[in-house]
Amino acid sequence: MSRQKIVVIGAGIVGASLAYQLAKRNQDVTVIERHPAAAREVTEKSFAWIHTTHRVAPEYRHLYDAAVEEYHALQQELSELPIHWQGALTWGNSTPEENFRFQQLNREQLEVLEPHLKEYPDEAMFASEEGALDPIKVTELLLNKAQEYGAKIQFDTNATQLQQENSHLIGIHTSKGFLESDVVVLASGTNVTELCEPIGLSVPVTASPSILIRMKSVHRLIHTLISNAQFEARQLTDHTMLAAEDYIDESEENGPEAIGKRAFQTLRRSLKGGEQLELESIKVGMRPMPEDGYPIVGFDDHIKGLYLTVMHSAITLAPLIARLAASELIDREPKSELEACRLSRF
């Protein structure tokens, strides 16, 4: 396929991964981002767990099975990629996928692995291959590498309207003018519905809020990623701890601020040295959630030149899906791995 003008809307981890893969293969890539910097929407507020061992529908299992290997391959290309393969420790919550990835650890093993816990379960499951990352640093690195390959990044630029002639998309209007394109890739999270509605395309994606709590720690209190019925937490660095909580509503009792403060107090009580934790911020991320919970990826069947990349979990799947999507965009041959991800399934 000849060199194409490809406009990527969104500079979160999905858009950055796509820009990197496309620019690396000599495409004319422009990334549009409405914020003044990358990863300032849901990516910034992500717990950023590379989580592959939870239960998923069989037709999507292969994507999660390949996600960790894809990250390792990316690290071979980009040795500075900030990923921490510390493993994930779970107990007392939802039943995980039953497969070979888990080790069952007893109490004594848990005390060695996580010496700062005040209480231990009799046993827990340890997924040693799982990890977590710094979502902002990873996104910025991917965009920087894309730029080294010739990609252009336009920050502080709103994508306002897709422009089509007959059934072909010819470009996009932005707050800084019109951009002509051979393909527009929508990696804009929940904003995808707003952009697609005026051209008569319904994309069943809604905002699924989640809460991220950021704390200062004097030193590292958690060595793995811990997910249990009481808390979900990990160290981002030796001096920063993250916790994730489910969003309930905006009430005083169960709003993000209240939930965040309760999670903070739980960690202070649950960890030796936890009393030294300091609450830094409580933020809500609006995750783009397809109606069935699985990625929507691919060319639209009716509007030529429009490609969708909307997904949860973006952190886990972005590098893999970006590589596969780049192949579809450049070679114009559908990838069987993405067959279950098409918009036409709805």
Domain ranges of the chain: 5-70+134-204+291-338, 88-128+221-286
Q: What are phi and psi of 138, to 5 degrees?
A: -65, -45
pLDDT at 92: 87
The sign of the dihedral angle between the CA atoms of 110, 113, 118, 124 is negative
| Helix (H) or strand (E) run with residue 65 in it | helix 61-77
> What is the band of 93 on the pLDDT scale with cuts at 50, 70, 90?
confident
pLDDT at 208: 96
- Mean pLDDT for all residues in the chain: 95
CA distances from residue 13 to 18, 104, 200, 260, 312 in whole angstroms, order as listed:
9, 32, 27, 25, 12
Q: Provide, for the chain, the percentages of residues in helix, strand and coil under a 3-state DSSP scheme, each rounded to the nearest 5.
A: 30, 30, 35
Q: Write the pLDDT tens digit of every residue in 231-270.
A: 999 999 999 999 999 999 999 899 999 999 999 999 999 9
Examine the pLDDT at 99 and tell me if it is beyond 90.
no
- Which three-class secondary structure state does DSSP give residue 293? coil
Examine the pLDDT at 50 and tell me if it is beyond 90.
yes
* DSSP calls for 101-157: TEEEEEHHHHHHH-TTBSS--SEEEEETT-EEE-HHHHHHHHHHHHHHTT-EEE-S-
Q: Which amino acid is at 325?
A: A
> What is the band of 2 on the pLDDT scale with cuts at 50, 70, 90?
confident
* DSSP calls for 142-160: HHHHHHHTT-EEE-S--EE
* Largest Cα span, the chain: 67
> What is the band of 272 on the pLDDT scale with cuts at 50, 70, 90?
very high
pTM as predicted: 0.95
**Alpha-carbon 244 to chain mean position:** 14
Distance CA 223, CA 116 (A): 9
Examine the pLDDT at 339 and tell me if it is beyond 80.
yes
pLDDT at 1: 58
Distance CA 181, CA 304 (A): 11
pLDDT at 95: 59
CA distances from residue 151 to 11, 19, 25 in whole angstroms, order as listed:
12, 7, 11
Catalogue the E-assigned strands of 247-311: 278-290, 296-299, 306-310
pLDDT at 324: 98
Report the half-sphere exposure of 157 (CA within 13 A, side-chain side).
23
Q: List 278's β-bridge partners, or say none.
A: 216
Q: List the one residue out of 155, 186, 150 whose CA is nearest residue 300.
A: 186
CA distances from residue 241 to 92, 121, 136, 216, 255 in whole angstroms, order as listed:
21, 22, 15, 6, 21
Distance CA 173, CA 162 (A): 6
Fold classified for 5-70+134-204+291-338: FAD/NAD(P)-binding domain (3.50.50)
Distance CA 148, CA 320 (A): 21
